Chain A
Amino acid sequence: MSQPFTALLDDLTGGNRTVIDAVLPQVYDELRALARHKLRNERANHTLNTTALVHEAYEKLVQQERMTWQNRAHFFGVAALSMRRILINHAHRRNALKRGGGAPVATFEDGMAPRAVHAAELIDLDNALQRLEQLSERQAKVVTYRFFGGLTQKEIAEALGISVPTVRRDWRLARAWLSRELGRDAASSKPSTDPPA
């Protein structure tokens, strides 16, 4: 590491682009390494829990350094961006192989019924998020943090330096906009049906 990790995190307030670019690869590598380690050492069907993974990566990366309360939230934000990148790469790989089978890419657990998410859905979401970034980078981040990083509204507010009601408003509008976009993607990617013979 060229810079102390916590120092980098401290610079993150307000989403400094260059700093994110410096930190992201570290977090990304650490998450991957952790995931790999777990997959090597645990049972074949073991699944990883993102929130747990992100927390563990955090513990590991900052072990020797004193963390302030704010930059912990920043870390989770960066971890969410990393998880998005990892998952989307994975989804693209899965999608390329999709004729071989259609196992879901991931499963969301929200305390109720788990919901399977398929590669194509995640890729559609990622594309829509990229379009949303053109309109509002912050709203796209709110969704990424919540969706890919499992951050709470309070954590998102801390990471982005905004208020909780703003997070809530951003989430609601972004959710509406993305729902509409995803509806369009689904409609346009429908296979055309042959006329009856």
Chain B
Amino acid sequence: MDATRWTQINALFNAVLEQPVTTRDAFLQTACKDDPDLLAEVRSLLAADADAHPLFDSLALDAMVLPADLLPEGILPAAGERVGPYRIVRPLGHGGMGAVFLAERADGQFEQQVALKLIRNGAGSAQIVRRFQSERQILARLQHPHIARLLDGGLTEDGRPFFAMEYIDGVPLDQYCEAHGSTIEERIQLIRVACDAVQSAHRQLVVHRDLKPANILVTSDGQVKLLDFGIAKMLSGVDHAIGDPMNNPALTQTGHAVMTPAYAAPEQLRHEPVSTATDVYALGIVLYELLVGERPFDFSGCSPAEIERIVSSQPPRLPSMAAPANRKRQLKGDLDTIVLKALRKEPERRYASAEALAADLQRHVDGRPVQARPDTAGYRTRKFIQRHRAGVTTTAAVLVLIAALVSFYTTQLAQERDRAQLEAVTATQVSGFLQDLFAMSDPSETGGTEVTARMLLDEGAARIERELTGQPAVQARMMQVMGEVYLTVGALDAADPLLERSLTLRRTLPDAPPLDVAASLSSLAGLRYETGAYATADSLYRAALTIQEEHQGPDDPVVAATLHRLGWVLFRQGKFEQADALYQRALAIRTTQFGEADPQTASTLSHIAGLRYEQDDLDAAETLYRRALSVRQAHFEKDHRDVATSLNDLAMVLGDKGAFDEAEAYYREALAMRERLYDGHHADVAHSLSTLAHLYWLKREYATAEPFARRGLAMRIDVFGEEHLATAASMATLSRILDALGDHAEAADIARRALEIIKATMGAEHPYVASFHSLLAAALHAAGTLTDAEHHYRQSLTLNRTLFPEGNTTMIGALTGLGGLLMETGRPAEVEPLLREAIALAINRWSEDHWQVPDLRSRLGASLTEAGRYAEAEPLLVESHATLLTSLGPDHARVLRAQERLDRLYALRGHQP
């Protein structure tokens, strides 16, 4: 593209934006009728305009805050400058702690070249120097041919700490191996030497804490030298030994660590006590890197919290799987096992010492059996479930299920096979499963790896079918678990046959435990609910409930869980009272069994709050949502899916109550939390976006609302597809906003589509169908399509009257709208009963004083005026005008309208009072 073409695009882009939204595309097509490329380009830019990159989100960019290491070279001394008793010769490099220089004694006392490490300026310099003085005795004892000696330390003139070390003319370990094309055996040999040096320091009770190739140099004659022993500890924050170090061979200290994240052990990243096992872990990473050619984890673009999560939870890929093809064979087996043992997440499960790691490496080289054993599936699963008990993402939930599944697989089948052999095989399968599934949580890979996860699941399902036919009890259980996994990842079609067969198998087995049958019934009910077959879900849950009550008694947590789920099925069908009764029973059981402050109790509370909201009891809903929120916040303590849900729910009620600012704050908090939890793209993020858009609509900030509504809708279509209740809800929000922005045609199109979706998903007899008829009617009304609008207003009212013989406040909008339409089409006589019904509902909903009531009375007065019933109209118009004036002030649009209606009465009647 050239600048001339760009000018043309520029002009057209701006011209299109000046058109009303409805005619933009037609305008564009006319302008580009001979130039399809131009049409495509401008359309694409308009799409990008509607969905701008988040970098440009902020409307008023106040400031950019820069990190302190923006200009690291700015603080370095130049050659010839003095630092303490040393004179700088030349820089050697710089790292996280500061810069390193080649330096020599400036006072001529010795002819010695040193590596001078200048620590970046910062707080605590004096403390570092004090620590140096207390540590130097210990460090002086570190005399080992493969450890570079620490010679001196002090403060520079401007108060920065420096250390002088024996200068080693060598290259980092990884570069050395690369440059010399070292074989696997040679690399192992170098690591073994490093292990010996580390072990000798550990004997002196010195932990390195920052081992990495850059700190393991190899000289030109092939000698390994470890740098920086003891430095990291001196630079750490407040340290204190845990227990007596002399009696505790595994030195442990805590404090703010100096470390390199790529080589840091999980405990280091969590700022937990470090020990000799921390150095073993770092040696494991270095070993991995030397053998494979890359490190086990890629942290590019990760935040510190993400790094911590990866290192704490993600198993490293097997070296033999990660290595280039020509090395795979050599690494498979012993070396895989040795590396993974050094890299265990739990310090106590790594090699007990660097020496033990070196010894196992030597055994491998000698061809003797190594002592490390593959990780066991059972242990891994237990730890995994412990870690993810408060699991934060769907992925984690899937993983828990997968882990449970594989663990089950192991324990059940082990009866018939050699247990140890099976554990070894399964451990490999587990790590493979988990690795690939963990990749799903990487947002940049979501598209690709979902396939991978699905393929793995399919393979698991096929294996259950193939290999377990002789064990129907095991097979039924596996099918249920597997079906649940499919259900969790949304693969409903795959879940169906598994859950059906699980139930059939258990029902036909003579000795199947009844509770297992109930579990299968419940799982299948969950699937039927997801596919919208509510009646089937209902009867399946009830069948499960009968079995559970019979065998566990009426007050068992299992019963509560089923009551809760069944309640939800009824809730979603609009059967609020039946749902309420079930929830109350579930709540009573859970409160007794788990207490008030339990997340399961909070979950039922939260559902009851949702019911109250649907039933229009906003005060009760607010109270219950606040209780659920505080229980969840106290229980989870940090970001969690359920906390975000509670925040969002509470905000929704507050928004409806008119507490907009508080609602906005909660919505924003929920949105931010969900974006953190799900990396920005998820059903819950879409929910937050749509609800926030709805709030801005309530606040009449329509232009602010629109982009949130569009992003929310696009994300929901992406996640759920079109035919889904949630998608229809987002459409409703967007339709209302567009209506308010004056784009009635698009608003009506969207509302019509939403109504179709609601009918298809909820059935024709649902309260939502009435609401969506009303929504569509309002949009059509505004667009001037009056016949159609009237039809939908009446559909809405008819359905509402069938479902709610006592009346329902959602009818007020339809009644008022239809009243207005009848006035516009010259049928004022039909308006009176509609508005009287609306007034009664409004008084019931709010109170006599609420501005909606006089506003409706004013409208009623206007209809009476037009029908020629002046005497009845006058008191209504006068009183409602006065009331509105008092509550809204003289300039409010509704007050002005009331005044106009009064004026119209006097104009028609011919005289003032």
**Do A and B interact?**
yes
Instruction: Select one of B2, B61, B66, B448 contacting A193, CB under 8 A.
Output: B448
Q: Which of B299-307, B594-602, B697-705, B729-737 contacts A (4 or more CB under 8 A)?
A: B299-307
- A35-B66, A103-B67, A135-B6 given as contacts; is B60 within 8 A of A110 (CB)? yes
Q: Are B158 and A40 in contact (CB under 8 A)?
A: yes
User: Of A83, A102, A115, A196, which is within 8 A of B452 by CB?
Assistant: A196
A47 vs B348: C-alpha distance when bound (angstroms): 39
Question: By the criterion CB–CB under 8 Å, are B445 and A191 in contact?
Answer: yes
Does chain A have a CB within 8 A of B910? no
User: Given A179-B56, A193-B452, is A51 in contact with B62 using a C-beta cutoff of 8 Å?
Assistant: yes
Contacts of A19 in B (CB 8 A): none
Tell me the residues in window 152-178 of chain A with beta carbons closer than 8 Å to chain B beta carbons. 169, 172-173, 175-178
Q: What is the 8 Å Cβ interface bit string for chain B, positions 263-304, against chain A (1 contact, 0 not)?
A: 000000000000000000000000000000001001111111
Residues A172 and B49 in contact in the complex (CB < 8 Å), given A44-B121, A103-B67 = yes
Contact of A50 with B by CB under 8 A: yes
The yes or no answer to A104 lying at the interface (CB within 8 A) is yes
Query: Distance (Å) between the CB of A103 and the closest chain B CB?
Result: 7
A99 vs B297: C-alpha distance in the bound complex, in angstroms?
9
Q: How far is A117 from B45 in the complex, measured between Cα atoms in Å? A: 24
Q: Which residues of B contact A130 (CB under 8 A)?
A: none
Task: Kindly state the separation between the CA atoms of A35 and B59 in the bound complex, as whole angstroms.
Answer: 27
Q: Contact flags (1/0) for B426-457 with A, using CB distance below 8 Å?
A: 00000010001001000011001100100110
B70 touches A86 (CB 8 A): yes
Number of A-B contacts (CB under 8 A): 198
A115 touches B63 (CB 8 A): no
- Are B63's CB and A51's CB within 8 A? yes
Task: Judge if A77 is at the interface, Cβ distance under 8 Å.
Answer: no
Nearest CB on A from B135, distance (A): 21
Say whether A18 faces chain B, with CB atoms less than 8 Å apart: no
Residue of B whose beta carbon sits closest to that of A135: B6
Residues in chain B near residue A113, CB distance under 8 A: 668, 672
Residues of chain B with a CB closer than 8 A to A98's CB: 299-301
Question: Please, how many angstroms separate the alpha-carbon atoms of A50 and B830 in the complex?
Answer: 66
Query: Any chain A CB within 8 A of the CB of B58?
Result: yes
> Nearest Cβ in chain B — how far from A80, in angstroms?
11
Q: How far is the CB of A164 from chain B (nearest CB, A)?
A: 14
Cross-interface CB contact of A150 among B17, B62, B71, B122, cutoff 8 Å = B62
A183 within 8 A of B: yes
Residues of A within 8 A of B300 (CB): 98-99, 102, 120
User: Does B246 have its Cβ within 8 Å of any Cβ on chain A?
Assistant: no
B68 within 8 A of A: yes
A49-B65, A106-B65 in contact; A183/B74 too (CB < 8 A)?
no
Q: Say yes or no: A173 contacts B13, CB within 8 Å.
A: yes
Instruction: Report the minimum CB–CB distance from A129 to chain B (whole Å).
Output: 12
> Quick check: A108 and B58 within 8 Å, CB to CB?
yes
- CB–CB A150/B64 < 8 A: yes
- Contact indicator B58/A150 (Cβ below 8 Å): no
In angstroms, how far is the closest chain B Cβ from the Cβ of A104?
A: 7
Q: Given A102-B299, A102-B300, are A110 and B58 also a contact pair (CB < 8 Å)?
A: yes
Our pick among A49, A87, A177, A179 for the contact of B63 (Cβ within 8 Å) is A49
B362 contacts partner chain A, Cβ-Cβ < 8 Å: no
Q: Is B75 an interface residue (CB 8 A)?
A: yes
Partner of B68, one of A46, A101, A104: A46
Closest A residue to B302 by beta carbon equals: A102
Residues of chain A contacted by B64 (CB below 8 angstroms): 49-51, 83, 87, 106-109, 148, 150
Contact assessment for A39 and B68 in the assembled complex, using a CB-CB cutoff below 8 Å: yes
Query: CB distance B445 to A169 under 8 Å?
Result: no
Shortest C-beta distance, B541 to chain A (Å), equals: 36
Q: Does B805 contact A (CB under 8 A)?
A: no
Chain A nearest Cβ from B19, distance in angstroms: 14
* Docked complex: B50-93 residues within 8 A CB-CB of A: 51-68, 70-71, 74-75
Judged by a CB distance under 8 angstroms, whether B112 is at the interface is: no
A146 is an interface residue with CB less than 8 A from chain B: yes
Instruction: Say yes or no: B58 contacts A101, CB within 8 Å.
Output: no
Is A50 a contact partner of B452 (Cβ separation < 8 A)? no
Residue B262, interface by CB 8 Å: yes
- Judge whether B10 is part of the interface by a CB distance below 8 angstroms: yes
| Contact A197–B261 (Cβ < 8 Å) | no
Any chain A CB within 8 A of the CB of B48? yes
At the interface, yes or no: B886 with Cβ under 8 Å from chain A? no
Q: Quick check: is B510 within 8 A (CB to CB) of the other chain?
A: no
- Within the complex, the shortest CB–CB distance from A178 to chain B, in Å, comes to 7
Q: How far is the CA of A64 from the CA of B594 in the complex (A)?
A: 74
Indicate whether A116 reaches chain B with its CB closer than 8 angstroms: yes
Instruction: Check if B299 sits within 8 Å of A101, measured CB to CB.
Output: yes
**B262 & A100 in contact (Cβ 8 Å cutoff):** yes
Asked if A85 is at the interface of the complex by the 8 Å CB criterion, the answer is: no
Q: How far is the CB of B210 from chain A (nearest CB, A)?
A: 12
| A47 with B67: CB separation less than 8 A | yes
Task: Tell me if B445 and A193 are in contact (CB < 8 A).
Answer: yes
Is B140 on the interface with A (CB-CB < 8 A)? no
Distance in Å: Cβ of A119 to nearest Cβ of chain B: 8
Q: Are the C-beta atoms of B63 and A109 separated by less than 8 Å? A: yes
Contact indicator A105/B67 (Cβ below 8 Å): yes
Q: What are 19 inter-chain pairs, A to B, with CB distance below 8 A? A: A39-B68, A39-B70, A40-B158, A51-B62, A87-B66, A99-B295, A101-B302, A106-B67, A112-B58, A116-B303, A136-B10, A175-B53, A177-B45, A177-B48, A182-B53, A190-B445, A191-B445, A195-B452, A196-B456
What 20 additional pairs, Cβ within 8 angstroms, besides A44-B68, A98-B301? A39-B68, A39-B74, A50-B63, A86-B70, A98-B299, A100-B260, A101-B261, A101-B302, A106-B65, A107-B64, A135-B6, A150-B64, A179-B53, A180-B48, A183-B48, A190-B444, A190-B445, A196-B452, A196-B455, A197-B432
